[in-house]
Structure formats: C-alpha cells, structure tokens
Chains A and B, each alone.
Chain A
Amino acid sequence: MKGYIKPSPVIILLGMLLLFACARDAKEENTNVPLYIRQPAHFPKPVYTFDNNPPTRSGFELGKRLFFDPILSLDQQVSCGTCHAASAAFADPRSTAVSKGVFGRSGLRNTPALANLIWYPHFNQDGGINHIEVQPVAPINDSLELGVGIANAVRILQNHPEYPGLFERAFDSDSVTAARILWAFAQFMGALVSDNAPIDAFHRDNKPLPEKAMRGKVIFDESCAGCHSGVLQTDFSFKNNGLNMGSNDIGRAEVTGNIQDEGRFRVPSLRNVEYTAPYMHHGQLNTLNDVIEAYSTSIAAHPNLDPNLPVGGFDFSSQQKEDLYQFLLQLSDQTFVNQSF
C-alpha cells in the first residue's frame, strides 16, 4: 500500500498532464494580452471606460480587421475604412462633401473625423447615438453606407473561415454575436487617441506656439472657444452656426423632434481639422480659409442661430484670418495621421 502515496514519476507526469489539459485553452490557443489605451494627462476623464469590455490586443486586432474589411458591406466593396482613413485623420480621404457608400450611393452628411472617441458623450452629428459600442450599428444597417445589416453581419462572420477563430481569441468564444462585433469595434475605435499636436505640447508642457498661431489663439479663445472649448475643442453641444447655406437637413431636430433644434449640429472637435476637408455637416466649405471667411462674412440669421454668433459674421481683418489659420494648423497631430494600419 505504501506505493500508492509515494510520488512516482508516472503520477507526477500524469498530474502535470492534467494541469496542462485544463490550462491549454488559456496558454496555447489564447494569445490575448491586455491592451493599454492612453489617457493623456491633459485630457478630461473619458466617458467610456471599457468597464464591460476590457481592451486586449486580440480584441483591438479583430476590431481593426472588421473596420477595414469590405465583407461588412452589401456589395463587398466598401468598409468603414473607405470613408474613415488614417491619412485623413479618419475622415474621407477623397475629400468629397458626402461620402459614397455601398453601390456608390451618396450619404447624407459629411464624414466626420474619428479620434478620441472615448471622450464623446454621444455620436453622429445629430447626437442620436448614445454609446460608442452601438455607434457602428448605424453605418452597418444604413442602406447608403455599408447596408449589410447587423443580423446579416453576424451570419456572414460566423460562416467565414477565419473570423470565428479571431472571436475565440478576443472573447474566448468562437460564437459571433452582434455584441462581440460591437465590443471589438469599440476597442479599435477607442484606441484611436490623438494627443500629439503642437496644441497638446502647449497644454501639457507649456510649449509656446509659433507667434502668429499664438495671436490666432487669442482670437480663437475670444470668438470660437465658447463652443469649441477644451483640449478637444468642443463642448459637445448642438448649435446652429448660420452656415447651413441652403441645406435642408434639420440636424438635431431629427432626433428630438423639437423645432428649436432645427439646423443644429454637434459642435465638432477641431483636432486634425487640417486633414479633414471639406467642412460643415454637408461639406459645404472646401478649405479652412473658406471656413474662416464664412465665419467672418456669411453667418445667416436663423431663429435657432447660436446667440454668441453675430449675424453677418465676425468681420475679421486679413491679419486675424491668417493668424486664426495658423492656430488651426497647431491642432494637427502628424503622428496620428501617419499611423499605418
């Protein structure tokens, strides 16, 4: 009977085998490691904190692949990345007023840039979407954008030769669900942090801006920063800026049904604004100088016009316009747009 309790090599080996049998999934198949997402010290606290969606390398990689894969479009020709390219700070690199989606169909509003999305309290230019995780459902369903539909997307990815394995790595299950697709998207989009523009060095390290840009900042702070406030240059409010220029898009009112919201759109972040032409909700202004000129001379009267904006315009001098332009260039994060994906 002694033999039973003596640690024989066979039993030790068997014991090790048992340990490995249980640990195999974690040690061999799952190469997942936590992903660190930068939260710059000079930024406010993020809105989205990944509480139920801890970011990992595999989750990020899955989200990235989904973002650039035309499999999520009805004609298999366009992806999120078609209209949101890194080189254009994740706005449309084709610089069209409105982007062309599935079957070449034109969208309704100018493609917004994507950066620092975990600081956003709502999404889309009318603020209709209340959470970063559910934002991608809109373009996936929209017949003018990707059009494939979220239920269909689940089936397509589940039947794909590679995707179930990527979901297994990211979420410890090869079962594709809408929520897992959306969590992966949130991990990728949430990791798009832009915090390396000259304006960041100014805020973070007190590094002065060039002289003209510093003068431009004074004008900006006085005339624009009431709404374009903080390090993201937005207070995330909805404003009518008098520059709708004939567009009949009712904006925020489409979501709220309130007549007071007609022609109001989200105050956009101006981060990387140099790379995201054209401008305004309908892409009605082609260049940054056009934007400055429009605010100087073309603000139209409207019942919902923001009271801080003068009807007619700010009437900037040519020096002020040039200084403002130079300031806006300080919001460009070259590291961000030069990332390769």
Chain B
Amino acid sequence: MKRFNSNFKGWLFMLPAILIFSLTACSDDDDNGNGNGDAAASVTIKFDHGWGPNHLPFAINTALMHPATQEEITFTKLRYYVTNIELHKADGTVWKEDESYRIVTVEGNSSVQELTVPNVPPGEYSAVKFMIGVDEDRNTSGAQEGALSPAENMFWDWSTGYIFFKAEGMSPAAPNGQFMYHIGGFEDPHNAIRTTTIAFGEQRLNVVAASNPSIHLKVNSARFWHGGISLADVFSIHMPGPNATTIADNWIGAFRFDHLHN
C-alpha cells in the first residue's frame, strides 16, 4: 500500500500537466498555413459607394439622377463579387490571398462596405489588385463553399456560371419601369471577368505585425451607364453576351483610389 501511495502522490503531482496536455492535444491546429504566425496583420478594404464622378451621396432605395443620361434611377439591389485579391509592392513582388472570394452587398442606409483581408505579411505595399467576378476555374469545378455557395443566389443554375454582379432597380426610362442587370460569363467571346489594379500613388500601405491598416476606395455607382447607355435600350441582362461585357467594362472603371489609413 505504501508503494501505491507514493505512486498515487506522483500521479496527483502530474495531474495539471496531464490535463493541460489533454486540452491541447485535441485542439485544432491554429496555424493559418501562411507561416506568418503572430507577425501577420489584417488589411481592411473600404468600398465607399457614391454617385457620379463627384461622388454624390448614394443609397439603395433612393431616387438618383444619372449625371450623363439624365435618367432617374432607384437601386433596389447592388451586389458584386470581389475576388483574387493581391497586394503589390513597388519592387514588383506580389502577395496573393488564398481562397479569395467575397461578395460586397450594398444594403440599408450605409454606402460603405468593408472587407477584411487577414494574414497579410508585413511590408510596404503600393497597389491592390482584385477581380470583379469569379475566375474560370471556379465556374467549372462543381460545388463551392463560402461566398461561392449557390445558396448566395449569385449563380445561374440553368447555364452554369456565377453572376459576377447584380444591379437591380427601377427607372421611368426603362420600358417596364424596371431594370435588372445580372452580369456574368467566363468564356470567350463573352468573357465578363474583369480585374483592376489600383495604385496608391506615392503613398504606401504599411503592414506591420498585428496592425490593421485600411485602403479606402471610391466606387462610382453611376458607372453602369458610362458612355451614355440608356435604360430605354438596356434594361434586362440575364445571360452572358455583348451587353454583359459592355456593362462589365463599365463597372470595372467604377473603382478608384481615395486614401490609406496606416
């Protein structure tokens, strides 16, 4: 019994260590896979939606006059994919985010939407690059998770492909009083995938450990009708084609640099 007793005391002594081991042994691996560990920071990208080149106030469910066509437009929906985000350094090196798929939804009274890009390696960045749309690979490789889930209703079920962006609303200029732009298409000649590289000029985004700097972009929501496109002519787009690629060309021009917060 004495012998057992001493063993038992020793066991008691080890109990905290055993408990700690048992708690950590089953926990998920916290490594983010980038190998950055604690050094990684997150970068916020702010999409500040305005109206026209002078960035007048923009909101859903608000009647607006298009500065070029003078047509009255009320948005009821504005959603778009922002994917394949990259941060570029002045020396030409590029950091690409893995699994970089998000949807920006403009809703309620807020015209500013924020995306947070986690695990950005430290460095001084001179530009951000992203895609409006979904790359061909994810359009052709079956069921996807997250922002690419078909449950997001940004997906054509009858003719496979993602709807890269949706702009819907009302306009007295449209024949039936409504407009619906569902823009997508990943195959030539009607490929509507567009990317933009937005440089920060002389400024640099300083990413240091545990920081959260932000990139402030201005988005011209009137840009769909750039070049004088009238809602009387183009009010319904629901499949890939020449109208979709024209609107895609216009929309990618909506994004421009405003300022950084380091």
* Residue positions of A touching B, CB distance < 8 A: 1, 3-4, 6, 8, 10-11, 14, 18, 21-22, 52-53, 124, 128-134, 137-138, 140-142, 150-151, 153-154, 177-179, 182-183, 186, 254-255, 257
Contacts and interface: CB of A to CB of B under 8 A. Distances in A.
Given A22-B25, A128-B159, A131-B141, A8 B153 contact: no
Nearest to B241: A257
Given A10-B8, A178-B151, A132 B22 contact: no
Contacts of A1: 10
A150 B151 contact: yes
A131 B140 CA distance: 7
Contact of B6 (A3, A132, A182): A3
B143 A178 contact: yes
A130 B186 CA distance: 12
Interface string B116-158: 0000000000000000000000011111110001111101011
Given A128-B158, A257-B241, A6 B7 contact: yes
Interface size on B, as a range, is 20 to 34
A52 B153 contact: no
B151 A182 contact: no
A118 to B, nearest CB: 12
Nearest to B12: A10
Given A133-B142, A257-B241, A154 B25 contact: no
Contacts of B14: 4, 11
A115 B56 CA distance: 57
Interface of B: 3, 6-11, 13-14, 18, 21-22, 25-26, 139-145, 149-153, 155, 157-160, 239, 241
Given A3-B6, A21-B26, A177-B151, A131 B157 contact: no
A177 B25 contact: no
A10 B22 contact: no
B6 to A, nearest CB: 4
Contacts of B22: 18, 21
A294 B6 CA distance: 95
Contact of A138 (B10, B141, B158): B158
A65 B211 CA distance: 49
Contacts of B25: 18, 22
27 contacts: A4-B13, A8-B11, A10-B8, A18-B18, A21-B22, A53-B142, A124-B158, A128-B158, A129-B157, A129-B158, A131-B141, A131-B160, A134-B142, A134-B155, A134-B157, A140-B157, A150-B150, A150-B151, A151-B152, A151-B153, A177-B145, A178-B143, A178-B150, A178-B151, A182-B142, A254-B159, A257-B241
B246 to A, nearest CB: 15
Contacts of A124: 158
B11 to A, nearest CB: 5
Contacts of B8: 10
Given A53-B142, A141-B157, 12 more contacts: A3-B7, A11-B14, A18-B22, A21-B26, A22-B26, A130-B140, A133-B142, A134-B157, A142-B158, A150-B150, A153-B151, A179-B149
